[in-house]
Homo-oligomer: A and B are copies of this chain.
Amino acid sequence: MRGEHDGRADRILDAAKELLLRWGYRRVTIDEIAKLAGVGKGTIYLHWRTREQLFFAVAAREAVAMLDAVAAAMRADPDEIMLHRYMRRFFLEAMDRPVLRALFTRDAETLDKFLSSPARRPLEGAKLIASRDYLRVLARHGLLRAGLRPEDLDYSLPTIVFGFFAIEPLLPADVPLGLEEKAGHLADTLRRTFEPERPSAREPAAGEVVEIFERLSRDFEDAAYGGKHGS
């Protein structure tokens, strides 16, 4: 069932994505998207109720790709479920995907009003970064500092991660750090702040965690293609 869309929705999303990255949110019109996708304008409205929903779907599809990459990496190496490893990959994957990078770095040039539009809400860091379920599993398996409860992270964790994204457009051009190094600093901060010095084994938790991210991915996929009926 997964990924067996008729392809038309994806052609439209491809067109929207390309134009978004080329011209920025404000300058892209539905007519252009329809033309590039080779469909009538009305067809787009068979898939999504508004322009906003359409662009939300563009971003949601990117999130799906990212989450799938995350889940795959966790399957290949259980260590990858550790909070600091996950956020390291999260940072790298997000920065490698122009749409997500624009979203997380709050690139106003590209996203303009979409940044403050309500449709963007479900993409807010919180859900992706700090899925309560994921943190709960980590805590239960001794992969968070003793005594640290999932809700204790509600504020700090997204705030720290947000800082590493949001600082990007403000960095002077001559910062001698690559993405990998930045991700490393982020990971180091999270590991020291939230993880135990001697964490338990990861394997017992890996299955559950992978499942959580797979489910999250499906949720975003549904949200992307089902925008017509969604909230």
Contacts and interface: CB of A to CB of B under 8 A. Distances in A.
Interface of A: 155-156, 158-164, 166-167, 170, 175, 177, 182, 185, 188-189, 192-193
A119 to B, nearest CB: 16
Contacts of A170: 162
A151 to B, nearest CB: 10
A94 to B, nearest CB: 15
A166 B156 contact: no
- How many copies the complex holds: the figure is 2
B162 A166 contact: yes
A121 to B, nearest CB: 10
Given A163-B162, A182-B155, A188 B177 contact: no
A188 B155 CA distance: 13
Contact of A193 (B159, B161, B167, B193): B193
A13 to B, nearest CB: 27
Given A163-B159, A166-B163, A167-B162, A193 B188 contact: yes
Contacts of A158: 167
12 contacts: A155-B175, A155-B177, A155-B182, A155-B185, A156-B185, A159-B163, A160-B163, A162-B166, A162-B170, A163-B166, A163-B167, A193-B193
Q: 5 smallest A-B Cβ distances: which pairs?
A: A163-B163, A156-B185, A159-B167, A192-B193, A192-B192
A127 to B, nearest CB: 13
A166 to B, nearest CB: 5
A156 B175 CA distance: 12
Contact of A159 (B156, B164, B192): B164
Contacts of A160: 160, 163, 189
A133 to B, nearest CB: 20
A156 B189 contact: yes
Nearest to A156: B185
A159 B160 CA distance: 8
